Amino acid sequence: MYASVLRNDSISNPPSTAHDSPSVFAIQGLECWYGTHQVIRKVSLIIPERRITAIIGPSGCGKSTLIRCLNRINDLIPGFRMSGHILFKGRELDDPAIDPLTIRLKVGMVFQKPNPFPKSIYENVAYGPRIWELHRDRRLDDHVEKSLRKAALWDEVKDKLGQNALTLSGGQQQRLCIARALAVEPEVLLLDEPCSALDPIATGKIEELLLELKQRYTLVIVTHNMQQAARVSDETGFLLMGELIEFGPTEKLFTTPGDSRTEAYITGRFG
Amino acid sequence: MPDRHPSKIVERLFKLMALGALVIALGTLTALLVDALLDGGGRLNWQFLTSFPSRKPEQAGIASALVGTIYLMILTAACALPIGVGAALYLEEYVGKHWLARVIEVNIANLAGVPSIIYGLLGLELFVRMMGLGRSLLAGALTMALLVLPIVIIATREALRTVPSSIREASYALGASRWQTIWHQVLPLALPGILTGSILALSRAIGEAAPLITMGALTYIAFLPDSLLAPFTALPIQIFNWVSRPQPGFHANAAAGIVVLLAVLLIMNGLAVYVRQRAQKRLYL
């Protein structure tokens, strides 16, 4: 029901999408709780395909909770509860017929702190394809190389694939995590403050990479760094105390915000 | 600016007290070891290690007890490890923060403090009599497994908790199932902790005489156990038996037996340290 409504973009409070890119996620009236504590209040927005959507807002505003709903990884947290609708390519994400594990095959995630497995670089990338039985032997080797190339890491690690991933620098580790996520060939990549533990040079490399990945993947990035959102994203949503205050094209949100609270936040008066 | 910190004397005093505590602890142990070595050093030779018990102290040896202890420990580990690790995995990875888990946790901690002789009584009734295993190696190992099980569970849960949640999330985010995440990521990381805890638990069991005596393990055995249902003896029982004899020759044997027991214990604890350090090197480089 909601699928058709959302695709026609005719819901009562339509999130603005100033382009004709088809939507990957359509979120409608999303509310989330941890126990009795409500962290997301009536959030509706549309995440367009092959674009970078940024979610900004002060600490504790619910940004991470919001994107963690999109691969249902919040389900693992005891006491987590949500209501409302999230459509992934027209299908309800919490349809009981859908195994949440298969959602995570299509919707990858990169976390705030680089979290490579304490195994070899090769094993990190090969883990996803192995558990999904996607490739074997020689084809797996090629696939690992392809994934590392997509994450712009291949040239730096091609001679030491057997080395423990923890020997890499923080920025390399984060690109390895991106390669690991890309190795299962997702359509969407969720990035939860992927640069907050990195120095400016490593951050620059990741941002460059994101702009490249946008050609083939839909990216959703949570960041508390407004410059980063302004540099890389096409759409930006501003979240405050669990409410989506404003959502629209990044350029418009940063130059002529429609809400005084957005303006106050992006000009640095709080947050 | 004052010349010296106001608590300087207290600092020194505290350091001295801590040193004193260490000297008392290590001193007692050293005294015991030296005493045992002085009394039993003369009996420590190949003949002692390879001979069976005898009525003549100078011909008596520890072979059946040493082999019995080694078999007992291997069997105990084989019984207690899978059950203990499985129980801990279920409590930690599947049940989570449910109130029932907390009730079980408190009970397991209490079980770890139950006197070992009680386990002996349980073993006597359950394994020796009800299950009809007799006073066999298997019955002894099962009794010992009950004794170490709570410690193995507690150690395993601690080890599982040290695996960072970011590793679990990384695995789940790739679509791995719970079992895949546990098997490929969590268990390998927790293994050194599990092994260290389990070896320490076993080294507690190795010195236990009370439960084995309660369940009726024999003291005089002139052959090596050849099956799981064979009667057996173990080092602490043999030592206990020798100590209770009036002849001084047997007392020397008991002292030598203590040295052997300590050596086995030391080897096991050394193994625990080695396992931990090797695994840590692999993890943190």
**A contacts of B92 (beta carbons < 8 Å):** none
Rounded distance, CA A106 to CA A109, Å?
10
The CATH code belonging to domain B56-284 is 1.10.3720.10
Which residues of chain B does A177 touch, with a Cβ-Cβ cutoff of 8 Å?
170
Two tokens at B234? 């173990």
Question: Which position has the token pair 């000009």?
Answer: A267
**CB pairs A-B closer than 8 Å:** 68
Structure confidence by residue, pLDDT tens digits, B45-55 = 888 888 888 88
Non-local (6+) Cβ contacts of A151 within 8 A are A175, A176, A178, A179, A182, A209
Within a domain: A83: no
Two tokens, residue B161: 């908790």
**Is position A121 within any domain?**
yes
- Say how far apart CA B175 and CA B224 lie, in whole Å: 52
In angstroms, the Cα distances linking A40 to A28, A62, A95, A116, B38 are 12, 6, 20, 29, 74
Identify which of A111, A164, A166 has the shortest CB distance to residue B170: A111
| B260, HSE (Cβ side, Cα atoms, 13 Å) | 29
Cβ neighbours of residue A124 under 8 Å, at least 6 residues apart?
A116, A117, A165, A176, A179, A180
Distance of CA A267 to the CA centre of its chain: 25
B282 vs A: CB within 8 A = yes
Q: Is A16 helix (H, G, I), strand (E, B) or coil?
A: coil
- β pairing state of A52-56 and A37-48: unpaired
Q: For residue B97, which residues of chain A lie inside 8 Å, CB to CB?
A: 78
How, if at all, do strands A188-192 and A107-110 pair?
parallel
Length of chain A in terms of residues written:
271
Longest dimension (CA), chain A: 57
The pLDDT value recorded for residue A20 is 62
Interface contact B170-A166, CB threshold 8 A: no
> Encoding tokens for residue A183?
């190795």
What is the distance in angstroms between the Cα of A152 and the nearest Cα belonging to chain B?
Answer: 20
Q: Is B177 touching A (CB cutoff 8 A)?
A: yes
Percent of chain A with pLDDT over 90: 75
Name every residue in A having a CB less than 8 A away from some CB of B: 71, 73, 76, 78, 101-105, 108-109, 111, 113, 115-118, 127-128, 131-132, 164, 166-167, 177, 180-181, 184
- Rounded to the nearest angstrom, the minimum Cα separation between A218 and chain B is 16
Rounded CA-CA distance A101/A180 in Å is 16
Residue of B nearest to A117 (CA): B167
Query: How many residues are listed for chain B in this entry?
Result: 285
Q: Is any Cβ of chain A less than 8 angstroms from the Cβ of B170?
A: yes
Q: What is the CATH number of the domain that holds A127?
A: 3.40.50.300
pLDDT of residue A7: 41
One-letter identity of residue B15 = K
Q: What's the pLDDT tens digit per position in B71-93?
A: 999 999 999 999 999 999 999 88
Question: How distant is the Cα of B274 from the closest Cα of chain A, in angstroms?
Answer: 20
Residue A18 has pLDDT above 50, yes or no: no
Query: A115 to chain B nearest CA, in Å?
Result: 6
Half-sphere exposure of B255 (CA within 13 A, CB side): 18
Q: Using CB atoms, which residue from A76, A118, A180 is nearest to B189?
A: A118
Residue B283 has a pLDDT of 62
Contact A210, A216 (CB under 8 A): no
Q: How confident is the model at residue B284 (pLDDT cuts 50, 70, 90)?
A: low
Alpha helices, DSSP H only, in chain B?
8-40, 46-50, 63-89, 99-112, 116-123, 137-161, 165-173, 178-181, 187-206, 210-215, 235-243, 248-284
Q: Which residue of B has its CA nearest to A180?
A: B174
> Around Cβ B64, how many Cβ atoms within 10 Å?
24
Q: Which residue among A104, A115, A167 places its CB closest to the CB of B175?
A: A104
| Whole-complex ipTM | 0.88
Decide: residue A1, CB within 10 A, 0-12 exposed, 13-18 middle, 19+ buried: exposed
Instruction: For chain B, give every domain's residue range.
Output: 56-284
Percentage of the residues of chain B whose pLDDT score is greater than 90: 44
Candidate ranges A238-247, B100-109, B217-226; pick with highest mean pLDDT: A238-247
Whether A17 has a pLDDT exceeding 70, the answer reads: no
Of A73, A117, A184, nearest to B172 by CB-CB distance is A73
Identity of the residue numbered A233:
S
| Sole residue written with tokens 């004397």 | B9
pLDDT digits (tens, 9 = 90+) for A209-264: 999 999 999 999 999 888 999 999 999 999 999 999 999 999 999 999 999 999 99
Domain residue limits at A198 = 49-73+96-266
Per-residue DSSP letter, B93: I
Helix (H, G, I), strand (E, B) or coil at B25: helix
pLDDT in tens, A162-215: 999 999 999 999 999 999 999 999 999 999 999 988 899 999 999 999 999 999
Phi, psi of A131 (to 5 degrees): -70, -25
Would you call A111 and B173 a contact, using CB atoms and an 8 Å cutoff? Answer: yes
- Based on the number of CB atoms within 10 Å of its own CB, is B18 exposed (0-12), middle (13-18) or buried (19 or more)? exposed
CB contact under 8 A, A131 and B172: no
User: Any CB–CB contact under 8 A between B171 and chain A?
Assistant: yes
Please enumerate, as own/partner, the contacts of B85-89 that have beta carbons within 8 Å and a separation of 24 or more: B85/B152, B85/B156, B85/B194, B87/B149, B87/B153, B88/B152, B88/B153, B88/B154, B88/B156, B88/B157, B88/B160, B89/B156, B89/B160, B89/B182, B89/B187
Q: What is the pLDDT of residues A66-117, one digit of tens each?
A: 999 999 999 888 889 999 999 999 889 988 888 889 999 999 999 999 999 9
- A115/B167 CB distance under 8 A: yes
Is residue A33 assigned to a domain? no
A155 domain-assigned: yes
Single-letter residue type at A135: H
For residue A128, the chain B residue with the least C-alpha distance is B174
Least confident among B98-107, B211-220, B273-282: B273-282
